[in-house]
Structure 1
């Protein structure tokens, strides 16, 4: 876009508001991106960090110096280089001093510099003292050796370095986070030894792939001993693209039945974790935890103790839940966005970052050597002049004493340069005695050898690379350490479901004729004796546990799932099922089941068809349920019969309304998830449709059970052995029951 600037008669420039705001915003954006939020690939520092480190070096605050008040440093930073708020500069300085925030701190602090629990709890800058760490020398040691460009400060009164001549890829070692305009950066810290090894490999073999570099750089290395659980493949993809995510998980041990957390993820507060766990305990969502303790001290910076309620608690499952629901496991965004050697921001992969940094380092090393070579050659040139002066000392003194302008006279008489003549004239009298020929020639020899070595290195790419490699290895030897954040493969954390957190209390679910449901505590409940609404009465009851699901079967053969622990108490008259589920219009409720997912039930219709199903297969996630039992024409749903644990020897007993009883092995029926099932007892379809004959009930009996048949006020008890007379093949008509039981009302199992 070209700016159209109009100048009126008074000489005032006029720009449209649209053009002015666009230009102003773009200028601001570029300032924030390049001069505030993003680090430079060369030294890995944002401008404020670079200015703090440089200002401290100018104050003489090296690692061997005495501590000085932080306010003094901040004053120099904002007064000379960084015209922003003092609190912003001090906070940046604090971050560089916290060993739990920086992998390799740049500032050595004395006083309260915050804690992992509360990084913002540092004391004011008037109370704390600081100096640079030895590691900061890696960034500063070559500063005065012509290695980098210098730019004017904000008011043009002095110069500051545009970048520091770092000897290692600090952009990866300490990482950084920042939000610019339209872009952000999230660079995790890394291990010095790993990064140096990778840089050397790339230096020796420029075509090294990211996968090969990952043999050295295993992953980020945070200043905490928590585990990085991101898969290696994802880490490699992150290094290839420059974008991704990392997941860290706390490290814990078993100690006498208790859980002891001894390392937390990066920037996670121990007190915050305990608060999150305590909130779950108060909300009764963590019944298996009895107590929490924070036993952290100077010797054990992180020691959080979680006491389970009993030694039967599965600690692995408990910790998996806590990883999923608290900051004991945390994800970190990775966005390797930085200002490259071309001065432009960009997201770079690991290979490109190290490649560009090696270019920066090669240029820095070349400039340092060239600067030293120029100094050596200048000194050699001056020494030649000193040698001339020494060999002609009397004549030199005579010219200086007698000539009004001794410099031209010296230059003419001895054929020396202006620099040499100036050096001779600046000599103090007391130094004349030192101008001994042997000393001069000795220094000349040393400098000449150094000059030749410098020229050889500058003229050979291989020698330059060897020098860079030696310096990288020396830095790794001096400041490198072992990896702190181990990489581990772990299963994905899983939070407890609501059912898993529910205690397994015995309950009896009661369903009324009108479809009202409730749950009574215990199994010894006389459900028929409970109070019901006017016009309503008892229909079905099922004993179970509060952490087991309740399945309701309607008259259309659909199954619905309810959470048993959420059912209303039997102290009241319950709630209508239609408030919790959405059955078809006109449907009634004919079946009530509960138990574990593996519990087996016999599902049947009064048309004489049925099958065995697992309770887990009947469960539905939505309110409208799922179709389970297909009904033949005229058929109706029977109350499902529970299958005893001794299912191998169990038998099915089916009774029709006309008093016919058929008994056959349960194994003859298939196990299905849904369907019509197989024929249980033979009743003609026409008789079912006309409701002349149909099945009254089906039951499954173990060898220790007895079958009770009810007809009016009479009942007939048949032991398992007594059923032999009624045994037959599945699908037969069955045999007639004794006189008086030709009109059966119901059958039940006596266990």
Structure 2
């Protein structure tokens, strides 16, 4: 700050507000990033977590010790190392004790430490007791062996470790989340065995790719048995970039016709989930669900029961809807952001994380071995002095008794070092009798062997790697467990549409000549008997169900879709259909359809062309509709005809106004999404344009049905066997009907 200061004539220091705020904000940002929010790649801990673990170890709260009040630990943490609020420190401690939050908990809690339903429901720190778990020793075991740097605490009265000497990559094992200034971290937990295996591979083959490492690390491993359904390619991309997302889905099965949910995604509350489902039931968005129950207990930590209304309910569809609309399926952001070995934050791919951690671990192990070697050499040096004292015990005692400065006299008489002379002088009188030559030489031999071993290890990179590998595998053997979060491939969840949630009541949709539409319940309605406005009359009707859409075909060949469930009631006279759609000017409505999406229809023009269309292809959300049937010059639209699911055994009958009838197999017509279609019956184009001859009607019949041809008041009922004379190839002119049916008005199936 000194370079920013200016001193005025009165001796007052001044600095511009801009410079001051810039520096203050930068200092704060770096503090939050480095000393609060992001974990260190070495031990995977944030500063508050590291201080809690260290404070507990200083209190002697090992896994084998008795529990102590959590308030005692929190008091030490905030009083000695972390000058922040006690609630923040305690919440960080609670998180490390929750087996449903941490994959490998570091704190062993006694009392109420929260529940998966409400992780914040833990008791106050004056009630709970705690100690470290056995796994915490993986972080603390080598702390007193010269493995890490020590830094002053906040007031400079004590020292604390800058990082803990973790024996495994804890940064990936327990994961963490945090929000710093301008950056965040979201590291998911992983399986210890998988991470150790991948680390060993990176140790043995430093050029291993992320894809090769992912042969061992299948995916993150959360402390829940819910499924990870993220595709394998996405998981691989996540580890290659350090960023991505994961999706987890609840595990369920069927028991006695009921849906039983046995595992929930990470950090999902069962009670909150039941609230979400209950809200949908109250809003009538789940009419197929009759009841909800929470049967969770000690034996079954998660057992949520969803009771369907009947055994006809599609349970897979219900669960797919719930996956799409509730926390039964949840997405998680992954951002592998951490402070690296260079002290800088960064998002790192998996291979870089393991490389950097191995560099940290190699340095840690080397420091541990050097520290032990230094202790061994120091002890050997002292033992050499003890041996001199033993061999000259009487003289040593005489010097100590008679000399004013015995230390200098011993050094001068026996050529001892200052350390050796000091050690001899510090010997208690009762230990002099124990200075036996054999014991001293025995300890010397043992220490010399250890010295040779340590020097060999430190002088060989290969031996050092082997040692690190053995220690990694030993930790995996002791603390490793099976994967909890299984990997599964699942279809994309799909919520029920508004139509699917409606009851499928039978209805009849009626369209008048003037384009007024309405719907009546049931199929026993006589459309012609309804009341119509003056000058209007019945034109078209279609039967179906209220959850099926209505499609209208206009005179230009465009198709429009209307939801059937909200059409006006047939008790009134309806409403103009043009209030809901935008047809071209002057267009009239010539076709009306109501069916399931997979239903097929024969679309045809009176020019003798047509094709088979699937009902789903005719639907459109656009008020202007969509082009369906292309009309030749002079052609008009015919009323669409429903087509059976199978082509074989079905026939198309087409009749012209001049009494020409042609029957051919339905399979000769193509199935198209839109277009003009193929020629059904041959009619010269000039005769169509002049309206001399055109197709009056087309029908689809089976071999069990008959065909009724209408001409004025006459009708001709032809059994299928009697249609032999009219059969021919598609596109032919057809044969003339008997006398009296030269002017045909229509045709229907009998």
Per-residue deviation, 1:3: 6.1
Match of 2:197 in 1: 197
Q: Is the 8 A contact 1:338 1:346 kept in 2?
A: yes
Per-residue deviation, 1:380: 2.0
Q: Is the 8 A contact 1:663 1:723 kept in 2?
A: no
Per-residue deviation, 1:12: 3.2
State yes or no: 1:270 paired with 2:270: yes
Q: For 2:490 and 2:342, how far apart are their aligned partners in 1?
A: 41
Match of 2:634 in 1: 634
- More divergent stretch after superposition (56-65 vs 509-518): 509-518
Per-residue deviation, 1:151: 0.6
Q: Is the 8 A contact 2:337 2:348 kept in 1?
A: yes
State yes or no: 1:470 paired with 2:470: yes
Q: For 1:475 and 1:449, how far apart are their aligned partners in 2?
A: 26
Per-residue deviation, 1:216: 1.9
Match of 1:160 in 2: 160
Q: Where do 5+ consecutive residues of structure 1 fail to align?
A: none
Q: For 2:68 and 2:733, how far apart are their aligned partners in 1?
A: 101
> What is the CA deviation profile of residues 291-348 of structure 1, one whole-angstrom value per residue up to 9, with x for unaligned ones?
2222111111111222233333333333333222222222222111111111111111
Per-residue deviation, 1:25: 1.3
- In 2 relative to 1, CA 288–383 (structure 1 residues): closer, same or farther, beyond 3 Å? same
Q: Is the 8 A contact 2:37 2:179 kept in 1?
A: yes
> What is the CA deviation profile of residues 618-662 of structure 1, one whole-angstrom value per residue up to 9, with x for unaligned ones?
2224221111222233333222233456864555455555x6352
State yes or no: 1:8 paired with 2:12: no
Counterparts of residues 24-35 of structure 1 (less than 5 Å): 24-35=24-35
TM-score of the pair, normalised by structure 2: 0.93
* 3-state DSSP of counterpart to 2:559: strand
- In 2 relative to 1, CA 167–531 (structure 1 residues): closer, same or farther, beyond 3 Å? same
Q: For 2:463 and 2:645, how far apart are their aligned partners in 1?
A: 82
Match of 1:716 in 2: 715
- In 2 relative to 1, CA 103–678 (structure 1 residues): closer, same or farther, beyond 3 Å? closer
Q: Is the 8 A contact 2:682 2:733 kept in 1?
A: yes
* 3-state DSSP of counterpart to 1:299: coil
Counterparts of residues 303-382 of structure 1 (less than 5 Å): 303-382=303-382
* 3-state DSSP of counterpart to 2:497: coil
- More divergent stretch after superposition (561-570 vs 417-426): 561-570
Q: For 1:648 and 1:460, how far apart are their aligned partners in 2?
A: 81
- More divergent stretch after superposition (432-441 vs 48-57): 432-441
- In 2 relative to 1, CA 612–226 (structure 1 residues): closer, same or farther, beyond 3 Å? closer
- In 2 relative to 1, CA 572–37 (structure 1 residues): closer, same or farther, beyond 3 Å? farther
Match of 1:172 in 2: 172
- In 2 relative to 1, CA 109–535 (structure 1 residues): closer, same or farther, beyond 3 Å? farther
- In 2 relative to 1, CA 627–233 (structure 1 residues): closer, same or farther, beyond 3 Å? closer
> What is the CA deviation profile of residues 572-611 of structure 1, one whole-angstrom value per residue up to 9, with x for unaligned ones?
4333322322211232211101223343333233344434
Counterparts of residues 210-289 of structure 1 (less than 5 Å): 210-289=210-289
Per-residue deviation, 1:743: 6.2
- More divergent stretch after superposition (646-655 vs 333-342): 646-655
Q: For 2:350 and 2:526, how far apart are their aligned partners in 1?
A: 72
* 3-state DSSP of counterpart to 1:471: helix
Q: For 1:606 and 1:392, how far apart are their aligned partners in 2?
A: 130
- More divergent stretch after superposition (189-198 vs 722-731): 722-731
State yes or no: 1:18 paired with 2:1: no
Q: Where do 5+ consecutive residues of structure 2 fail to align?
A: none
Match of 1:54 in 2: 54
Match of 1:573 in 2: 573
- In 2 relative to 1, CA 611–172 (structure 1 residues): closer, same or farther, beyond 3 Å? closer
- In 2 relative to 1, CA 726–279 (structure 1 residues): closer, same or farther, beyond 3 Å? farther
Counterparts of residues 280-679 of structure 1 (less than 5 Å): 280-643=280-643, 648-654=648-654, 660-667=659-666, 669-679=669-679
State yes or no: 1:111 paired with 2:111: yes
Per-residue deviation, 1:432: 2.5
Q: For 2:482 and 2:734, how far apart are their aligned partners in 1?
A: 81
Q: For 2:481 and 2:645, how far apart are their aligned partners in 1?
A: 61
- In 2 relative to 1, CA 687–192 (structure 1 residues): closer, same or farther, beyond 3 Å? closer
- In 2 relative to 1, CA 602–205 (structure 1 residues): closer, same or farther, beyond 3 Å? closer
Q: Is the 8 A contact 1:644 1:702 kept in 2?
A: no
Match of 1:43 in 2: 43
Q: Is the 8 A contact 1:116 1:267 kept in 2?
A: yes
* 3-state DSSP of counterpart to 1:89: helix
> What is the CA deviation profile of residues 134-158 of structure 1, one whole-angstrom value per residue up to 9, with x for unaligned ones?
1101111111111110111111111
Q: For 2:466 and 2:141, how far apart are their aligned partners in 1?
A: 20
Match of 1:124 in 2: 124
Q: Is the 8 A contact 2:663 2:723 kept in 1?
A: no
Q: For 1:443 and 1:569, how far apart are their aligned partners in 2?
A: 104
- More divergent stretch after superposition (718-727 vs 339-348): 718-727
- More divergent stretch after superposition (67-76 vs 391-400): 391-400
> What is the CA deviation profile of residues 447-483 of structure 1, one whole-angstrom value per residue up to 9, with x for unaligned ones?
2222222222222222222221221122111111111
Q: Report the RMSD for the aligned CA atoms in angstroms.
A: 2.7
Counterparts of residues 691-710 of structure 1 (less than 5 Å): 691=691, 694-708=694-708
* 3-state DSSP of counterpart to 1:52: helix
Q: For 1:750 and 1:723, how far apart are their aligned partners in 2?
A: 14
* 3-state DSSP of counterpart to 2:432: helix
- In 2 relative to 1, CA 21–677 (structure 1 residues): closer, same or farther, beyond 3 Å? same
How many correspondences in the alignment? 747
* 3-state DSSP of counterpart to 1:639: coil
> What is the CA deviation profile of residues 57-85 of structure 1, one whole-angstrom value per residue up to 9, with x for unaligned ones?
11111111111111111111111111111
Match of 1:727 in 2: 726
Q: For 2:517 and 2:46, how far apart are their aligned partners in 1?
A: 66
- In 2 relative to 1, CA 10–719 (structure 1 residues): closer, same or farther, beyond 3 Å? same
Per-residue deviation, 1:244: 1.8
